[in-house]
A and B are shown apart, each in its own frame.
Chain A
Amino acid sequence: MKELRKTNFKDFKGSWTLCSQCASCYYRGPIVPFNWRELPPPEWSSPQHKCPSYEYYNFRAYTAAGRGILATVVFDDDQFPITDDLIRIVYTCTSCGICAEICQLFKPLTAIWAFREELVQRGAQLPEPLDKIHDNIKKSRNIFGAKRLPKALKGIPARGEHIYFAGCTARFREPEVTRATVEVLKAAGIDIAYLGDEERCCGFVAGHDGNTELLEQQAAQNVEALKKAGAKRVIVSCAHCYKTLKIDYPLIVGELPFEVIHVSELFAKLIDEKKIRFTQEVRKEVTYHDPCFLGRHCKVYDEPRKVLESIPGIKLVEMERNRRWSYCCGSGAKISSACYPEFGTATTRERLAEGKRAAGTIVTACTTCVSRMNRIARKEGMQVEISDLSILVAEGLGIELSPGLE
């Protein structure tokens, strides 16, 4: 099956008509009960609650199975009315990927992305925030329409072999993560470079809301800039950017002339190579939130845990839903949270509560997840600390990240 990029629903239609509507992708309860002798192993022990949009809206339309039905119907009828209801159903999918993790036969999420592309190609009116985001990407090169770069990224060379691709959220919403990442990498002896204004939004939101044309533009421009800067390795903080660069870009521009690595993978490697040597104890009981786009989409589960367990004083406790069964943080690929904030907030609230039941600190390895959970925890008055992996690594190295620096 094709991944995101110029997918057309006709690529999926043949297989979707074979979907038996078994409901595994959303139904509450296990997807596999037992094999008579034993209960399923952890990788098949699915959680009771799986699909965020189903859990919030409850109607079947808000599931992969329901969206698959609608996609086939819409595809068969080019006059099918594209109503606000239909748009809401399609754009409340968080792209968390749990349906595709469950149903590896039909890859329902990829079909939903194709459905979005189909709607965009038909000129459907997308939820308002998406138009704004597209506009920001085009005019300001980032999703927020922000202008000023954080101090942490100033003074870093624009050319080099190891280029830090910060991403919109780290640059403009979570500068502490940016600073921690840069400082840790410097401490490990890496000559870090940064594209500055030449770093454009990776195009994740555009690609995942069906505007593949914009994604393609972003991909071409970023890859060109990275090549010009001499990149041999691109280091990424945000799981969304990571998935886009690692998986989507090669489908658009072909094989990349550089390695794409997530900071959690790089930290784990540097720990192995003894280039990161912790000097400080960080006395914390933490739980790790697997970002959907790092975990399920890119299969990076072990490295962040390895890094956490290497930091002296850290005690890692797993949440009930972890690894491939992790629950969306509510960002919903930045799309459902922007377009349907009540739904996004409810999802974040649920994930925060789950994290809080496990430990006092929720750590993750995605600036978008950090930003999202921080914002909702503050707004809802939830007493739980949210942190990025890079910040804990910096603490373990004794790097001081004074608040208000930016």
Chain B
Amino acid sequence: MEIISTLKKIVGPDRVSTSDSICLSYSFNCFLGRDIVRKPDIVVMAETTEQVSEILKAANKYNVTITPKGAVGAAGTGGPLKGGILLDLALMDKIDLIDTTNMKAVAEAGCSFFKLSQELFKKGLMLPTAPYGPGPSVAASAITPVNAFGETKYGPNINLVEGFEVVLPSGETIRVGSMAYADSDFGPYYRYITGPDLVGLFTKSNGAFGIVTKIAYRCLHRPKHWAFHTYYWPLDRIRDATEALVASIAIEVFDIHLMDRWRFEMEPGPILPDDCEFALQFIVNAENEQELHGKEQTVKDICGTHGGIYLPGHAEDFYSQWPPPLIGLRRPTTLPSASTLPTKIPRRHIYLFDELIFPASRLPEVYAKIMETCKKYGFWDIPHHVAFSGFPMNHQVITAPIGIALDDSDPYLVERFHKCQGEFREWFGKKGGTFQYRLPPMVPDFVWTNQLGVYNLLKSIKALLDPNNILSPGTFELGGV
């Protein structure tokens, strides 16, 4: 095939493969669910933006679809929906800039999020997103069509992104947001410099509008003092827990993680009290001990006022462990249960929803509906327990992945799973709740019917930028599948 020889000329013969085995090794995402096979026809590894540009020109010329990918990883999913080229960017892993004074960082798309985070840490900076796994690259964590991994109260990663270098489907390279000024004397110092914010076009896009090759982050100063606390509530006190949650989001707390009992039990740690149904885990930080104690007292007051019961040592132990419990090694995405509950869980834990997004204040009714719907279809307790994990963000919003433990090779269970999903989706979508999915195609259900105008505009932009629909086909079903 001509395209193969063209690609080999661009990146070298050793960086292009049509081997069935190699293509197959890129075909599974997140977990090896057989129903999520996305096998490319060609795998190409690029090392520079120029190579990405030439590859896109070739893909356009030969009308071959192309989907970018990092090192996969816990949430850095994606992959080709229908064959074509898989562009592996894992070798583009350099950190171009860490500007400690202006608190900015620029890295290549394939750089691991852990790598950038650790280098920033060494220089007294941080990206305030929870470090869940090394796999998601810095770009994947911004373009994956969910809130990305490791949301903290600061919100998704994309809240910290200020600029992209992007190769458009035509092969043209553009720089948007602060990256437009990356080579200037001032450097990439501000996202909203001139005109509309085009960074947004590429966020959560799964590469549908262009392939991100570099990314600029706004970093935060890392305080030296940290403390970790857990409070819990029984099921019948969910309204009190919600009030404590809403009040906590409003104040200066670094992070809050809401877990229901099942989600909590998946993490290593002491046995939970019998009456613990919801737990709020707090991370507070400060520049000095006095400030830290003040913040800890505020959290204590809020939780105490709303009937929260202190769980001493739990969060402290949780965040002192090596390796940290949240990372992929200890907590393979969907299956912490693999290590902690081996005898109880039949097989894997699959997402009922990758992300449900709703106002934090509506937690009681959303949780009640999840429970009602899941119980109706035979899910809730062992062996098909449902785990709720909530990431409150400072927009007074919760983004929550919901998982069910089930054997997805059992057609009866899978059918019930889909019915359960559909019924809840109907209710939640009509309420105005938002769903986000890691894996294309993004079914145009309430995500789009609630924002039809946006959907149509995106389709128009897609048609304009990518007339041959070669980039990440299937994403949002823009341009058809």
- Residues of chain A touching chain B, judged by Cβ–Cβ distance below 8 Å, are 14-24, 26-37, 39-41, 43-44, 48, 57-61, 65-70, 72-73, 81, 83, 85-86, 89, 102-105
Contacts and interface: CB of A to CB of B under 8 A. Distances in A.
A31 B115 CA distance: 9
A29 B329 contact: no
A119 to B, nearest CB: 12
24 contacts: A21-B30, A22-B329, A22-B332, A23-B73, A24-B135, A24-B327, A27-B135, A29-B114, A30-B112, A30-B118, A32-B131, A33-B117, A34-B118, A36-B285, A39-B118, A41-B322, A59-B17, A60-B22, A61-B21, A67-B25, A81-B20, A83-B19, A86-B20, A104-B329
B190 to A, nearest CB: 27
A31 B135 contact: no
A57 B339 CA distance: 32
A22 B22 contact: no
Contacts of B118: 29-30, 33-34, 39
B12 to A, nearest CB: 11
Contact of B112 (A27, A67, A72): A27
Contacts of A14: 347
Nearest to B327: A32
Interface string B101-133: 000000000011011011001100000000101
Interface string B219-232: 00000001000000
Contacts of B24: 61, 69-70, 73
Nearest to A87: B21
A125 B115 CA distance: 40
Contact of A59 (B27, B45, B93, B332): B45
B323 A32 contact: yes
A85 B17 CA distance: 10
Contacts of A102: 329
A250 to B, nearest CB: 25
Nearest to B323: A32
B333 A20 contact: yes
A218 B320 CA distance: 47
- Tell me which of B21, B133, B321 has the highest count of chain A C-beta atoms within 10 A of its own C-beta: B21
Nearest to A103: B329
A89 B21 contact: yes
A99 to B, nearest CB: 11
Contacts of B1: none
The DSSP consensus for interface residues of chain B is loop
A31 B327 contact: yes
Contact of B115 (A29, A66, A89): A29
Given A29-B115, A36-B285, A24 B20 contact: no
Interface string B315-330: 0000111111001111
Greatest chain A CB density within 10 A among B71, B91, B320 is at B71
Nearest to A48: B115
A47 to B, nearest CB: 12
Given A28-B93, A29-B115, A69-B32, A18 B338 contact: yes
B80 to A, nearest CB: 14
Nearest to A29: B115
A283 B122 CA distance: 37
Contact of B91 (A24, A40, A58, A73): A58
Contact of A29 (B19, B111, B226): B111
Given A43-B322, A85-B19, A105-B329, A33 B114 contact: yes
A105 B339 contact: yes
A81 B348 CA distance: 28
B90 interface: yes
A81 B121 CA distance: 47
Given A21-B28, A21-B30, A60-B26, A36 B328 contact: no
B409 to A, nearest CB: 9
A163 B226 CA distance: 57
Nearest to A56: B14
Nearest to B348: A18
Given A14-B347, A29-B111, A85 B20 contact: yes
A145 to B, nearest CB: 32
A85 B114 CA distance: 32
Nearest to B31: A20
B335 A18 contact: yes
Interface in B56-107: 71-74, 88, 90-91, 93
Nearest to B223: A36
A69 B319 contact: no
